[in-house]
Amino acid sequence: MKTTAITCVFNEEKTIRNVIESVSESLIVDEIIIVNDGSTDNTKKIIEELKKNIEITDIHLKKNKGKGYAMAVGVENATNEIIVFIDADQTKIISGYIDQMINPLLKKQCDMVLGYSTVNILSKDVTP
């Protein structure tokens, strides 16, 4: 199974570079989608600069529509079976974090992962 990482951003010029670079290092992520939700700072410029060296699908909304809308736009453009949302305000994503989150899905040990918890919908078993 392939994984899409979606990050929705609004005026995150201080953190977006770190987030994109960290996500691009994950061996599990095959697709990175950045939804720029109408940023008015240098966020767009940083995304476009990073796009020269990192494969990114970038979507730039002209007006801020809110995180829920931006997330939906990201999902609509995703091409993979597994989707992980990465917050744009992360100062440092620990190496292997995304892989550790997604591995239970890949091993079919759960139906979804919420943060650090795995959830098996059919048996209603929640493992912290």
Q: What is the mean pLDDT of residues 105-119?
A: 70
Residues 57, 8 contacting (CB under 8 angstroms)? no
pLDDT tens digits for 71-111?
A: 999 999 999 988 989 988 876 677 677 888 888 888 888 88
CATH topology assigned to domain 3-127: Spore Coat Polysaccharide Biosynthesis Protein SpsA; Chain A (3.90.550)
The pTM of this model reads: 0.84
SS3 assignment for 1-65? CCEEEEEEECCCCCCHHHHHHHHHCCCCEEEEEEEEECCCCCHHHHHHHHCCCCCCEEEEECCCC
pLDDT tens digits for 56-77?
A: 999 999 999 999 999 999 999 9
Strand partners, 33: 6, 57
| Domain range annotation of the chain | 3-127
Above 60 in pLDDT, residue 124? no
Above 70 in pLDDT, residue 125? no
Residues 43, 17 contacting (CB under 8 angstroms)? no
Higher pLDDT, 16 or 125: 16
